[in-house]
C-alpha cells in the first residue's frame, strides 16, 4: 500500500485474534498517522511482557514470579486443587470470589482431531502435581461440552489413585435463566440432579 | 489481573482504534499464551515502522523515502494536484486507477470545534506548494460533508491566485445506487448537475 514497512506492520497486526486485513490496515494507519506514542508504547509493553511474563512453576497460570500469587498465598487451601482449561476460566473463578483453594491451568481440553492429546494440554504435569502434593480434592472445572467432559473423564481415571475426592461443577439452570429458553440437555441435568 | 506487566500490555493494546478493555484482554491472552512469536513480530514491526515510515516531503503521504513513489514518478502529471483528507482517501483513489496526477494529503478537514484550523490540517504547506510549483489544476477531492465543503471553500479562496483551475469531484447518484434509498440532498445535486 504505502510502503513495505507499512505492509509488514499490517501483516503483524493481522495475527491478533479476530483482526482481518481491513481492521489491521485501519490500526496501522491510526498508529502511524494519529498516535505514534501509542505505537511506541505497544512495542515496549509487548517486549516487556514477553520477557517478564512466564508461567507459575506450580499451577501454570501466567505469572511474573516463579510462584503466582495464589500458589504463594499460604492462606489458600492447598488441599483443594481446581483444574481449569484456560487463564480466562481461572480469572472468572477468581473474580467470583467463591473459591479459596489452589489451581492447575491446562492448555485447553483434549481434542484429538486438532492434535491436542494429554501431552499437549499438560496432563502429565497435573498428574505429577497430584502425585507429589497432598491434594484432598480435585475439582474439575472444565467446560460442559463433549470435549470438556471427555477431558474430565480422562483426568478422573488417571488421578483416582492419588486423590481421595474428585468432583465436578454442578450442572443445571443458570441463575436468571428462564426455563423456556433452556436446551433439553441442560433441563435433563437439572431434573436428574434435583435437590429436595 | 494476572500480573502488572499483563495489565500494562492490556492498557497499551486499548489504544488501538475500537479496542475496548475486554478485547484488549483477549488479545493480550492470545499473544502470551498461544502466539508469542506473533507478539515478538508485532513489537519488531511497530518499532521498524516507526523508525522507517515518515511523510513524503512534497505530498505528506506516508512514505519510507523522502519522496513517495507518486511524487518520484516522472510519468505522473505534475500539472494536476489532487487534495485529499487522509491516507485512506489517497489509497481509494490510487486503487481505482482513475487519476494520473500528483497528490497533497491534508491531516483531516477544518473543524474549529475540534481545534482543527488551517495550520493543524496542513493548509500553509499546500498553499506554499501551489505557489511554488506549476500546478495547472487543483482537484479538491474532499468529503461531501459540511466540514469537507467548508475546507474546499477555504482552499479555493486561498489558492485562486496561484492556480488557473480549481475543480471538485462530481456529486450525484453513486453507481449501483437505487434512487428510492437516496437522501434528498444527493437527489438535489443529481438533478441540479444533470447532463443532456
Residue B61 is assigned to a structural domain of this protein: no
One domain, residues A87 and A120: yes
pLDDT band at A7 (very low <50, low <70, confident <90, very high): very high
pLDDT band at A135 (very low <50, low <70, confident <90, very high): very high
One domain, residues B153 and B82: yes
Q: Which residues of B38-64 are buried (b: 16+ CB within 10 A; e: fewer)?
A: bbebbbbbbbbbbebbebbebbbbbbb
One domain, residues B41 and B99: no
Record the cell numbers describing residue B114, joined without a space. 475540534
pLDDT band at B166 (very low <50, low <70, confident <90, very high): very high
User: What is the residue range of B31's domain?
Assistant: 4-52
Determine the number of helices (DSSP H) and then strands (DSSP E) in chain B.
9, 6
Assign B81 to helix, strand or coil. strand
One domain, residues B40 and B99: no
Average pLDDT rounded to a whole number, residues B10-25: 95
Q: Can you state the percent helix, strand and coil of chain B, rounding each to 5?
A: 50, 15, 35
- Whether the pLDDT of residue A175 is over 90: the answer is no
CATH of the domain at A19: 1.10.8.420
pLDDT tens for A42-91 read: 999 999 999 999 999 999 999 999 999 999 999 999 999 999 999 989 98
Give me the pLDDT at residue A166, please.
94
One domain, residues A88 and A162: yes
Nearest one of A116, A164, A169, A160 to A142, comparing CA atoms: A169
DSSP A164: S
> Which of A37, A39, A46 should be substituted to probe chain B, the one whose Cβ sees the most B Cβ atoms within 10 Å?
A46
Whether B85 and B109 have beta carbons less than 8 Å apart is answered as yes
A21 touches chain B (CB under 8 A): no
One domain, residues B85 and B163: yes
One domain, residues A82 and A155: yes
Give me the pLDDT at residue A41, please.
96
pLDDT tens for A141-157 read: 999 889 999 999 999 99
Subunit contact B8:A48, Cβ cutoff 8 A: yes
Report how far residue A78's alpha carbon sits from residue A103's, in angstroms, rounded to the nearest whole number.
9
Record the cell numbers describing residue A191, joined without a space. 431434573
Last residue of a domain, one of A35, A52, A69: A52
Number of domains chain B is built from: 2
One domain, residues B100 and B149: yes
Residue B109 is assigned to a structural domain of this protein: yes
ipTM of the complex: 0.82
Query: By CB neighbour count within 10 A (0-12 exposed, 13-18 middle, 19+ buried), where does B83 fall?
Result: buried
One domain, residues B89 and B153: yes
Nearest one of B192, B163, B48, B144 to B104, comparing CA atoms: B163
Beta-strand runs (E) in chain A: 54-55, 62-63, 77-84, 101-105, 137-140, 165-168
Residue A119 to chain B, least CA–CA distance (Å):
16
Give me the pLDDT at residue A8, please.
96
- Whether the pLDDT of residue A176 is over 90: the answer is no
Report how far residue B18's alpha carbon sits from residue A195's, in angstroms, rounded to the nearest whole number.
46
One domain, residues A91 and A136: yes
CATH of the domain at A161: 3.40.1360.10
Residue A130 is assigned to a structural domain of this protein: yes
Report how far residue B149's alpha carbon sits from residue B140's, in angstroms, rounded to the nearest whole number.
9
One domain, residues A47 and A11: yes
User: Chain B, 74-93: which have a CB under 8 Å from a chain A CB?
Assistant: 86-88, 91
Report how far residue A97's alpha carbon sits from residue A79's, in angstroms, rounded to the nearest whole number.
18
A20 touches chain B (CB under 8 A): no
Residue B58 is assigned to a structural domain of this protein: no
pLDDT tens for B31-54 read: 998 899 999 999 999 999 999 999
Least CB–CB distance from A27: residue in B16, B29, B63: B16
Residue B27 is assigned to a structural domain of this protein: yes
Residue B113 is assigned to a structural domain of this protein: yes
Please state, as a whole number, how many other Cβ atoms lie within 10 Å of the Cβ of residue B32: 23
Give me the pLDDT at residue A173, please.
86
- Whether the pLDDT of residue B122 is over 90: the answer is yes
Question: What is chain B's mean pLDDT, rounded?
Answer: 92
Residue A67 is assigned to a structural domain of this protein: no
One domain, residues A124 and A163: yes
Report how far residue A16's alpha carbon sits from residue A28's, in angstroms, rounded to the nearest whole number.
13
A72 touches chain B (CB under 8 A): no
Note the pTM of the prediction, 2 decimals: 0.80
pLDDT tens for B57-98 read: 999 999 999 999 999 999 999 999 999 999 989 988 998 889
Residue B41 is assigned to a structural domain of this protein: yes
CA atoms within 13 A on the CB side of A19: 27
Average pLDDT rounded to a whole number, residues B94-107: 93
Record the cell numbers describing residue A190, joined without a space. 437439572
Record the cell numbers describing residue B60, joined without a space. 505528506
The dihedrals phi and psi of B48, each to the nearest 5 degrees, come to: -65, -45
Amino acid at each position: 500500500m504505502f510502503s513495505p514497512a507499512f505492509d509488514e506492520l499490517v501483516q503483524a497486526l493481522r495475527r491478533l485474534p479476530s483482526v482481518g486485513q481491513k481492521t489491521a490496515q485501519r490500526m496501522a494507519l491510526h498508529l502511524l498517522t494519529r498516535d505514534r506514542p501509542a505505537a511506541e508504547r505497544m512495542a515496549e509493553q509487548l517486549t516487556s511482557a514477553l520477557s517478564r511474563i512466564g508461567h507459575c512453576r506450580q499451577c501454570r497460570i501466567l505469572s511474573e514470579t516463579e510462584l503466582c500469587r495464589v500458589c504463594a498465598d499460604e492462606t489458600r487451601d492447598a488441599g483443594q486443587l481446581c483444574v481449569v482449561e484456560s487463564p480466562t476460566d481461572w480469572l472468572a473463578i477468581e473474580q467470583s470470589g467463591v473459591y479459596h483453594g489452589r489451581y492447575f491451568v491446562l492448555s485447553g481440553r483434549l481434542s484429538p482431531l486438532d492434535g491436542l492429546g494429554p501431552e499437549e494440554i499438560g496432563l502429565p504435569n497435573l498428574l505429577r502435581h497430584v502425585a507429589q502434593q497432598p491434594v484432598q480434592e480435585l475439582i474439575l472445572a472444565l467446560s460442559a461440552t463433549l470435549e470438556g467432559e471427555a477431558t474430565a473423564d480422562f483426568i478422573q481415571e488417571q488421578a483416582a489413585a492419588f486423590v481421595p475426592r474428585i468432583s465436578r461443577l454442578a450442572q443445571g439452570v443458570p441463575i436468571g435463566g428462564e426455563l423456556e429458553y433452556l436446551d433439553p440437555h441442560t433441563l435433563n441435568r437439572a431434573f436428574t440432579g434435583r435437590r429436595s
